[in-house]
Amino acid sequence: MKDIIYKIANRTTNMNHNVDKSCNWDWGPGVAMFGLVRFYEATGDESIISYVKHFIDECIELAYMRKSVNTTAPAMACFKLYEKYGDERYINICRDYAEFLMNEASREENGAIEHSLITRTKVGEVWIDTVFMAGVFLVKAGVVLGNDEYIKEGLKQFVLHIKILQDENGLFYHAFSHNTNSHMSGCLWGRGNGWFAASVAEIMKLLSDREFPAEKDIILDALNKQMTELIKFQCHNGMWNTVLTDKDSYNESSATAAFAYGIFAGVRMGYLDSDLLPVAQKALEAIIAKTGDDGRVYDVSHGTGVRDTIDEYNLIPKENIMPWGQGLTLMLLSDKLYGI
């Protein structure tokens, strides 16, 4: 399996990350860089962290072009770059984005951060994607910068998004619209649910030696409810579909990688039951089968904004290599192989 993770990392350093045609400082490249950072932490491969540094340095000026929830994602790699190289530019970006999320990002009346894009900074919608792009970032910023207010706000966003987006069955809707007072298409989207499972693993790693018991209890209760329902929809081949509850929807790799990562990490840290390990192992084997000899992870759905109908999610293409598929798979394998 170690040869596979090296192939995936090397392929991720040899691809076009600007797949959404926005710019390299956006959520997709950010997830890929985060995955590469995890690979570096696991292996110590200096060529990989050098690549991440070069990539961030090449587009660092774009970080201030238009701040949004999505453009927070690349800043996650800057924590590691500052730790390794000591360049103040990196930690300044982290601090600036934390302040943006704390004080400038558009919010619902209850305080939930509205999901914003590089092309739309105020959408009047709450997306499950935000827990990964903003919630994890705020908790990380709080730990690194020694600011408990950042941590509290990051955890608050988890709690609010659970309240707004978790269905009674435990799965998460993609989004909620304040304008229509509805979950819009009503889609229980695969990657969106994957964002939640992976995000819980991230914050539990960060807060393993810290308190915040009330928030943790709410978040872990939501995760366990999600898992209870999620396992019902795993396909016979180990994958999950892009629309979780639609058996005719296509298998989707980024969601499957995120679920496997969330389960392996959760069982290891003790907040998920070990009975889930066969589920994660089956998903891991499925992802390995979806990985080409060149390290490309196949069957990753393209960028997916909120759709008007559930059927439209099934029309999202999956033919090209996607940075978030590479990044989430690197997170999965780094955790499984190295406990990182």
Reported pTM: 0.97
Looking at residue 66, what is its pLDDT?
84
Looking at residue 65, what is its pLDDT?
86
Q: Are 318 and 300 in contact (CB under 8 A)?
A: yes
Residue ranges making up the domain that contains 271: 2-338
- Reported as type and span, the H/E element at residue 176 is strand 175-177
Looking at residue 122, what is its pLDDT?
66
Question: Average pLDDT per run of 10 along the chain, which is 340 residues long?
Answer: 96 93 90 98 98 97 92 98 98 98 96 90 88 98 97 98 98 95 97 98 90 95 98 98 98 99 98 98 98 98 96 98 98 95
Residue 225 Cα to chain centre, angstroms: 19
Q: Are 268 and 204 in contact (CB under 8 A)?
A: no
Looking at residue 119, what is its pLDDT?
78
The CATH number that applies at residue 23 is 1.50.10.10
Q: CA 121, CA 51: separation in Å to the nearest integer?
A: 30
Looking at residue 311, what is its pLDDT?
97
Looking at residue 121, what is its pLDDT?
66
Q: Are 125 and 178 in contact (CB under 8 A)?
A: yes
Q: CA 260, CA 288: separation in Å to the nearest integer?
A: 12
Count of domains observed in the chain = 1
Phi-psi domain of 255 (left: phi exceeds 0; alpha: psi -120 through 50; beta: other): alpha
Q: Which tokens sit at 122?
A: 């105020």
Q: Are 282 and 214 in contact (CB under 8 A)?
A: no
